[in-house]
Amino acid sequence: MNLIDIPISILRFQYKLVRIPLDLFENNVVHSMNTEAPARLVYERTVGTLDQKVGALLGDKNVQHRGAEQVHHADELARAQRLEAQADAKEAEAAQKLKASRETAEKERKAAADAAKEATEKARVEAEERKQQAAQEAEEKAAADKKKADDAAAARAAAARDAEKKQKEQIDKVERSAAAPAEAELADAAEHQEDAEDKKAEAARIEKLFLAEKESDS
């Protein structure tokens, strides 16, 4: 062993003494933390970096390797945490986008349902209006047809009354024409009868005078 090796050996021993409280703190406190706790990762990376540098300075491969492994472990956990945080952020963003898409789809569905309901109600109102209009037009047409039929019936009745009146006048005229000769004949017959009665009375008077004279001659 040369003179240079002696101080390094002393430094290695001293560093082991310095690491004793750190090891106690690590075993009693750090190891009780969650393996992914930020404070534990900071501690492990700090101590690992210290071991790595001191091990390289003192030529202690074990300490240097231990420190490198501890730094690598802390970096890997931190990297995993970052990736997990990124994944969580992306998942939250995707969930937010999904929620927004669902809300948009729900709004569009509701708007479509409202539009369909409005269109259905509008079609129902228009159909009811067309139905009422058709009923009114049918009623007006029926009233017009009835008035037309009533007017036609009234015209036919008036024509029938006029025809009946004319027919009656014609019959009266014919009856009067037929009755005129008969009345003349009745007047002549009455006149003849009166003459006959006068003659009969005259004959009776003459006969009575004749009988009276005949009685006076006797």
Per residue in 172-184, pLDDT (tens digit) is 776 666 656 656 6
- pTM listed for this prediction: 0.40
pLDDT at 4: 47
Is there a domain that residue 60 lies in?
yes
Q: What is the pLDDT of residues 48-64, one digit of tens each?
A: 888 788 887 777 788 78
pLDDT at 213: 74
Is there a domain that residue 26 lies in?
yes
pLDDT at 2: 45
Q: What is the DSSP letter of 29?
A: T
Is there a domain that residue 193 lies in?
no
Q: Which residues of the chain have pLDDT under 50?
A: 1-4
pLDDT at 3: 37
- 165 Cβ partners below 8 Å, 6+ apart? none
Is there a domain that residue 116 lies in?
no
The Cα 150–Cα 163 span in angstroms is 19
Is there a domain that residue 207 lies in?
no
Domain hosting 51: range is 5-105
Is there a domain that residue 97 lies in?
yes
Given a contact cutoff of 8 angstroms between Cβ atoms, the answer to whether 63 and 15 are in contact is: yes
* Number of domains making up the chain: 1
pLDDT at 175: 65
Question: Which one, of 108, 35, 105, 109, lies nearest residue 73 by Cα?
Answer: 35
Is there a domain that residue 158 lies in?
no
Is there a domain that residue 129 lies in?
no
